[in-house]
């Protein structure tokens, strides 16, 4: 009985893998072609938050629960601040005179404190989902 050389075995294996790859690509294309395009998602609610003299304005925010929200943090100071919240799992440095965008939620009903990490004694706020 003759056995194939390692080179022939490797070549046959490569050809086999290419065939499998082509079949997988064809199946994926067919599946995508039959799937109707999803409806565009509605734009998330945008909440404006300003930071002035190391104070958040407003310091209390209310948002609907179980809803994703787009938060725009406008830093009106000349120095950077870090918007942070352990409960929201969010941290982002906002350079002076810049606006940061973060996505938050969907959140279960409750209160979620946030603060300015560089000025935690003054820059404090709370986001309530209800």
Partner 1 sequence: MLIDSVIIVLREIIAVAFLSSVLLALAYFLRIPGPRLRSAVLLGLGGALAFDVFVRLVFDRFGGFGYEFAHVAVQLATWLAILAVLALLMLAPRAPRAALRRLMAAAMVLAVAREGGEILFYFASLSDQGDSISDALTGAVIGAGVGFSAGTLFYYLQLTQRPAAALTTGATLLALIGSGICAQATLLLVQADLLPAQTPLWDSSAWLPESSPVGQLLYALIGYEATPSPLMAGVWLASSLLALAIALACRRLGPRFGFGAGPPLPDPQTRS
User: Please, what is the minimum distance in Å from the beta carbon of residue 74 to partner 1?
Assistant: 12
User: Please, what is the minimum distance in Å from the beta carbon of residue 30 to partner 1?
Assistant: 26
Q: Which is nearer to partner 1, 99 or 128 (CB)?
A: 99
24 — phi, psi (to 5°)? Answer: -60, -40
Three-state helix/strand/coil letters over the chain: CCCCCHHHHHHHHHHHHHHHHHHHHHHHHHHHHHCCCCCCCCCCEEEEEEEECCEEECCEEEECCCCCEEEEEEECCCCCEEEEECCCCEEEEECCCCEEEEEECCCCCEEEEEEECCCCCCCEEEEEEC
Question: Among 74, 93, 126, 128, which residue sits at the site for partner 1 (rule: CB under 8 A)?
Answer: 93
Q: Does the protein bind partner 1 through residue 119 (CB under 8 A)?
A: yes
Q: Does the protein bind partner 1 through residue 106 (CB under 8 A)?
A: yes
Q: Which is nearer to partner 1, 9 or 19 (CB)?
A: 9
Q: Does the protein bind partner 1 through residue 74 (CB under 8 A)?
A: no
Q: Which is nearer to partner 1, 1 or 43 (CB)?
A: 43
Binding site for partner 1 (CB under 8 A): 68, 77-82, 86, 89-93, 95-96, 98-103, 105-106, 108, 117-121
């Amino acid at each position: 009985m003759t056995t194939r050389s390692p080179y022939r075995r490797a070549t046959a294996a490569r050809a086999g893998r290419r065939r499998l790859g082509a079949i997988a690509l064809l199946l994926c294309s067919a599946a995508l072609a039959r799937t109707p395009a999803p409806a565009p998602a509605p734009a998330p609610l945008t909440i404006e938050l300003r930071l002035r003299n190391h104070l958040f304005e407003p310091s209390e925010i209310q948002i609907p629960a179980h809803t994703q929200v787009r938060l725009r943090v406008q830093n009106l100071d000349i120095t950077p601040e870090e918007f942070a919240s352990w409960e929201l799992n969010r941290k982002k440095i906002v350079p002076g005179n810049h606006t940061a965008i973060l996505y938050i939620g969907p959140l279960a009903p409750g209160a979620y404190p946030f603060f300015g990490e560089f000025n935690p004694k003054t820059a404090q706020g709370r986001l309530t989902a209800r």
